Chain A
Amino acid sequence: MTEIILKDIFKSYDQTEVIHGVDLKVESGKFLVLVGPSGCGKSTLLRIIAGLERITSGEILIDGNEVSNIPASERGLAMVFQSYALYPHMSVFKNMAFALENLKIDKKTIEEKVNSAAKLLQIEEYLQRKPKALSGGQRQRVAIGRAIVRDPKAFLFDEPLSNLDAELRVTMRKELSALHEKIGGTMIYVTHDQVEAMTLADQIVVLNNGYVAQAGAPLDLYNNPSDIFVAGFIGSPKMNFIKVKAIDKSGSFNLVSDALNLQTNHKNLQNNTPYSLGIRPEHIEVCEQQNSDLKVHVNFTEQLGSETYFYCQGEGIKQLIVHHTGQYKINKGEELYLRFKRDSVHLFEENGMSVSKKNN
């Protein structure tokens, strides 16, 4: 079991700084997911940990040992690449055995290790095939197998499922999760898909423009986003944001916009100050007019059978997505009355930081 710590990591390409002082701790045996939009630096950070990129400054510790200047081959980590990076001229067996041959391990041990990994990943029957004769999912398994046989200190995954189709991605996600439970190694996984992050991770690190926006358990990030970026990034469909003003009503505050006048239990607000109200689609209910907070017009509906999504527009609100469990028939342009779950309303200051519900 391996613990990986990053301390104040900076990375620049020429004059352009892409990682701005990242601190991170990956606990032993945990599954950590680095998530963020394209270009946020998550792959760079993973490659820094792998040793494929040199840092500009900072420290990388693996099990307490400083490895910043140690080459990738000596860090004892294994990486699974987005494009699998299988050697096309070698059979699956040779691909998996290659790293072990480098270590000059005897043939019998190599065979045992490869066969055992192949059994775990259910690729035994493909061992003599070349990568071109495998499907995307099978190739990905081989790539994982190549990592497993080395008994690495930790596994690094760089968007390993992004080349697979949607159905296979779901299957492989479950298999990866099961694999982590079985072998129990420390795993760092990069993805831009927040669903992958939510379903796989023990801990998620959301990156934005080379900074750590927030790190924590998946539901912590979902329930208590630290800023408007994390709030918008975690959750699918995205959280809705409405521009409001806080108006002091003798002790408590009302959040007011053209279409909305909502009493809130947020305490530490500034009177007559603009905020962004954040509410997830699943925290908005369709209700009768007399109990409603907001009236909107429906622009578009997505009927998924077990659930329905309304894409609505209101006064001063460009788009509001509403989730409804079950089926709901409504025509385009019809009115819909909505009520927000008070406890699930998030507020963000103008600088994007979340406003705590607790008294300061």
Chain B
Amino acid sequence: MENISNQTKNFFLRILNIPFAFLMHAIDLIMWPIQKIIGVRNMPYIFLLPNLIFFGLFVIMPLVANFFFSLSSGDELLFAERELPTTKQYDQLFDCESYLNPNTCTEDFFWRGVYNTIFFVVFQVGLMIFFSVLTAVILNKKIIGRGFFRSVFFFPVLLSPVVVGLIWQWILLKNGAFNAIIESYGGDKVSFLTDPSWAMASVIFVSIWAHMGFYTLIVLAGLQAIPPNLYEAAEMDGTSRERIFFRITLPLLMPNLLVVFILASIKGVQTFDEIYVLTGGGPGTSTSLIVQYIFTTGFASSGSVQNFGLAAAASMVLGVVLLFLTLMQLYFSRNKESKHQEI
């Protein structure tokens, strides 16, 4: 009986083997002559080649093209038809009587974007770190439904920024859900998205809501990496709760908070889509950040206002800021690894 079942198994295995054998031979047919020419040691490069081609075509080449665009001027798309090289775009971007007053700059829209971005990043990152730590500390305690709450706080991270923008637009518009609640309690409607004094605060709030879960997770991982017996030792030492938090938890969490700070800053500087859907950068330019300036200047404007060169120059400036933040992140994540080894 066993013999028959083995025979059947072998029969099916042999049939299954046919397409595999065919495929293997086909691959061999291509690989064998290549290996003959370049040798076994160089074969890994052949396997990497498809990826390298895609990376070069869609990442490196646009990056280089962007750099040359920033050093060219004209309305044409082809380099042959553009004036090259010229620092005209950078001169235009940085042409300001006073950098502290965007009205005195030729590209006042760019400088408003810069200041809005700085304001946005400072408050969004600061508040996000505060709320992430607060949430992580609570979620690290043995509370009822801890797993559920961890999922709930992480859920917005999974949403696309456009969806986030649309959800909150529906809630925060003058005729939105939130104003309906305010009105039902006898309050006056608030123009969360169209009043310049409210718009930036609303945008920061929505951005925190959308991204906090991810940073909470990083902080939570940091909290869980702190050995529990440090807290027990502190308890035996008669340490108050506040002192435990500020003298033990926070210093040991610092490597994680640095990573959160830098990652959130990188993300914050790049913010575009949520705000674009939520307020479109308005009212006026009150919520318009650098990326929106780049998008509007390079693509959204029409005719002679559209300026690839200027947009490319602005994106190079943004690139330098992001490079600096990324290098900081790399430096601190290496430090964090060695700190964790210490514990």
Instruction: List the interface of chain A (C-beta within 8 A of B).
Output: 50-52, 71-74, 77-79, 81, 83, 85-89, 98-99, 102-103, 130-132, 146, 150
Contacts and interface: CB of A to CB of B under 8 A. Distances in A.
A87 B236 contact: no
B239 A77 contact: no
A242 B230 CA distance: 48
B229 A83 contact: yes
A150 B232 CA distance: 16
A150 B239 CA distance: 13
B236 A79 contact: yes
Contacts of A103: 238
Contact of B233 (A81, A130, A131, A132): A81
Contact of B235 (A52, A86, A146): A52
Given A88-B252, A89-B251, A89-B252, A102 B229 contact: no
Contacts of B247: 87, 98
Contacts of B339: 88
23 contacts: A51-B235, A51-B236, A52-B232, A52-B235, A71-B235, A73-B237, A73-B239, A81-B229, A81-B233, A83-B227, A85-B227, A85-B229, A86-B233, A87-B230, A87-B233, A87-B247, A87-B248, A88-B339, A88-B342, A98-B234, A98-B247, A102-B240, A130-B342
A52 B230 CA distance: 12
Interface string B307-343: 0000000000000000000000000000000010011
A74 B232 contact: no
B115 to A, nearest CB: 37
A72 B227 contact: no
A77 B237 CA distance: 9
Contacts of A98: 234, 237, 239, 247
B243 interface: yes
B283 to A, nearest CB: 47
Contacts of A88: 252, 339, 342-343
Interface residues of B, number: 20
Interface in B209-259: 227, 229-230, 232-240, 243, 247-248, 251-252
Given A73-B237, A99-B238, A150-B237, A85 B243 contact: no
Contacts of B227: 83, 85
Interface of B, secondary structure class, is: helix
A72 B243 contact: no
A85 B232 contact: yes
A73 B233 CA distance: 10
Interface of B: 227, 229-230, 232-240, 243, 247-248, 251-252, 339, 342-343
B252 A102 contact: no
A83 B238 CA distance: 19
User: What are the 10 A-B residue pairs with the smallest beta carbon separation, nearest first?
Assistant: A99-B237, A73-B238, A85-B233, A85-B229, A132-B342, A89-B251, A72-B235, A102-B238, A79-B236, A81-B229
Given A88-B342, A132-B342, A102 B236 contact: no
Contacts of B251: 89
A52 B232 CA distance: 7
Nearest to A78: B236
A83 B233 CA distance: 11
A127 to B, nearest CB: 18
A158 B238 CA distance: 19
A253 to B, nearest CB: 53
A78 B252 CA distance: 23
Nearest to B341: A132
Contacts of A83: 227, 229
A71 B240 CA distance: 12
Given A77-B236, A85-B230, A131-B342, 19 more contacts: A71-B235, A72-B232, A73-B237, A73-B238, A73-B239, A78-B236, A81-B229, A83-B229, A85-B233, A87-B230, A87-B233, A87-B247, A88-B343, A89-B251, A98-B237, A99-B237, A102-B237, A102-B240, A102-B243
B126 to A, nearest CB: 23
B343 A73 contact: no
A150 B236 CA distance: 10
A99 B161 CA distance: 49
Nearest to A158: B229
Given A85-B232, A85-B233, A88-B252, A74 B342 contact: no
Contacts of B243: 102
Contacts of A89: 251-252
Nearest to A50: B236
Contacts of B230: 85, 87
Nearest to A132: B342
A90 to B, nearest CB: 8
Contacts of B236: 50-52, 72-73, 77-79, 99
Contacts of A85: 227, 229-230, 232-233
A99 B243 CA distance: 11
Given A83-B229, A88-B342, A74 B252 contact: no
Contacts of A79: 232-233, 236
A28 to B, nearest CB: 21
Contact of A81 (B232, B238, B239, B343): B232
Contacts of A146: 233, 237
Contacts of A130: 342
Contacts of B240: 102
Contacts of A73: 235-239
Nearest to A152: B236
Contacts of A86: 233
Contacts of A150: 237
Contacts of A131: 342
